[in-house]
Chains A and B, each alone.
Chain A
Amino acid sequence: MHDGPGELSVTVEVNGQLIHGRVEPRLTLADWLRDDCLLTGTHLGCEHGVCGSCTVLLDDRAVRSCLLLCAQADRCSVTTVEGLASGPDELSPVQRAFMECHGLQCGFCTPGFVVSVTAFLAANPAPTDDEIAEALSGNLCRCTGYQGIIAAVRRAAEHMAEARGEVS
């Protein structure tokens, strides 16, 4: 029950692979992913929960990795933007839609958007425009003006419907 001031051991399934580590209690999941796992796709903007660029899936739910201690991800599964596509040269339907619809410019915010939208469409495969706007409210983009991102969400929903064999 008592963990000393020193390090804690963690085992986290990251993008399908079990990773063991020893971490300081105050290390956030975001810093661990970037600095220890060298998965720098997860970006850090504000580091206090506002911008959404650090979003990852924790047991399939989108969360802020800057607001989670690495130790809290012990025995959980984490998916980062690097783990969304089915292979190294592949794009996930959401990634492909962002590319096609100019859903990114500098790309800083993009991993957070892509992860958030992936979770959102899994829960709501045919969203209305209002639902899309609400779902995107937790991610900030300084470049695009959001219209390309909104178009990408719609396009991704179409790609996914097609993949399920539904005609759109």
Chain B
Amino acid sequence: MKPAPFRLHRPDRVAEAIELLSVYGDEAKVLAGGQSLMPLLALRLARFEELVDLNRIGELSGISFDGEELVIGAMTRQADVEVAPEVRKSAPLLARALRYVGHFQIRNRGTVGGSLAHADPAAELPAVAMVLGAVVDVVGPRGARQVPAEELFAERWTTVLDVDELLVSVRIPVMPAEAGFAVEEVARRHGDFAMAGVACALSSGHGRVDRARIALFGVGRTPLLCPLVAKEMEGSLLDELHPAALDELAALATADLDPPDDVHATGSYRRAVAAHLVGRALINSLEELRRA
């Protein structure tokens, strides 16, 4: 047996899970799909006395849509989100990005909430949540709160959630009809974590970009929004956004990046790849926008 011993708690309700987390504090860890936590336990990179398994909490799974927001329960499997018609319709970027998350066997277990809570800097969903303006619902012993995705990620593998708080759902506002999206990444093999990647969501009205959100992943300690690019793009006429202008925007998006070197790639290579990917994402999302 590879993991160190632990006790397993299998609550049926969110309230019970919160109670366990508040009793055990940092001795406890939440177990969702296990696709990140189980490897950490098996390699003994992490060790917890108490595991709180969320898999029996039915109220944490499911997708609902009220016309304005898509609400996805934290324990909804990535594979189920990927094929859900309401996701494909109202948040196509999320469905597209999920195809890059590991492999189908991983997504059959991995959850949307787990991916956000795990906050891997190279993960796709945190960046996608940021560009879609998603908000997460958090519940803890001190009550419920909402955290916008862009304020959720504090550090590598660290969110602003307290140890006794649970991410219960993510809310994704529906984008206007005139919108275009792209997610682009470079990884060693399909399904690996990205060496560099970008998610992009644009919308327009009267021939002008009215909202531009671009986020990079795999190149920093958290996913990184590119506010300078957004500022340059918003208000621009679609016709002005020709290839040379997009190249400049891509350079702007990556100018201040200082990605780390690691076994997969050097920092300068990552930055060069990121600039290229931003260019490609802008071209592809504009194309979709113009068709919309």
Interface residues of A (CB under 8 A from B): 1-5, 8, 24-28, 31, 47-49, 52, 55, 58, 61-64, 66-69, 71-72, 116, 119-120, 133-135, 137-138
Residues of A within 8 A of B12 (CB): 1
Beyond A3-B7, A24-B1, A52-B105, is A134–B38 a contact (Cβ under 8 Å)? Answer: no
Does B42 sit within 8 A of A, measured CB to CB?
yes
The answer to whether A133 and B35 touch across the interface, beta carbons within 8 angstroms, is no
Q: By DSSP majority rule, is chain A's interface helix, strand, loop, or mixed?
A: mixed
The answer to whether B1 and A63 touch across the interface, beta carbons within 8 angstroms, is no
Give CA–CA (A119, B79) in the complex, Å. Answer: 13
Beyond A67-B39, A137-B191, is A26–B104 a contact (Cβ under 8 Å)? Answer: no
B186 CB → nearest A CB, Å = 15
Does B161 sit within 8 A of A, measured CB to CB?
no
Interface size counted on chain B using CB atoms at 8 A: 35
Give CA–CA (A27, B6) in the complex, Å. Answer: 10
Give CA–CA (A64, B33) in the complex, Å. Answer: 11
B105 partner, pick from A5, A71, A116, A134, beta carbons under 8 A = A116
Interface residues of B (CB under 8 A from A): 1-12, 16, 34-35, 38-39, 41-43, 51, 53, 55, 79, 99, 102-106, 108-109, 189-191
Residues of B within 8 A of A58 (CB): 108
Residues of B within 8 A of A25 (CB): 5-8, 51
Beyond A49-B38, A49-B39, is A64–B7 a contact (Cβ under 8 Å)? Answer: no
Give CA–CA (A9, B38) in the complex, Å. Answer: 21
A49 partner, pick from B4, B7, B8, B106, beta carbons under 8 A = B106
Give CA–CA (A25, B189) in the complex, Å. Answer: 33
The answer to whether B55 and A62 touch across the interface, beta carbons within 8 angstroms, is no
Residues of B within 8 A of A61 (CB): 79, 108
Considering only CB atoms, which chain A residue lies closest to B40 in the complex? A48
Beyond A48-B43, A49-B39, A72-B53, is A4–B105 a contact (Cβ under 8 Å)? Answer: no
Considering only CB atoms, which chain A residue lies closest to B41 in the complex? A26
The answer to whether B103 and A52 touch across the interface, beta carbons within 8 angstroms, is yes
Residues of A within 8 A of B6 (CB): 25-26
A1 partner, pick from B5, B16, B109, beta carbons under 8 A = B16
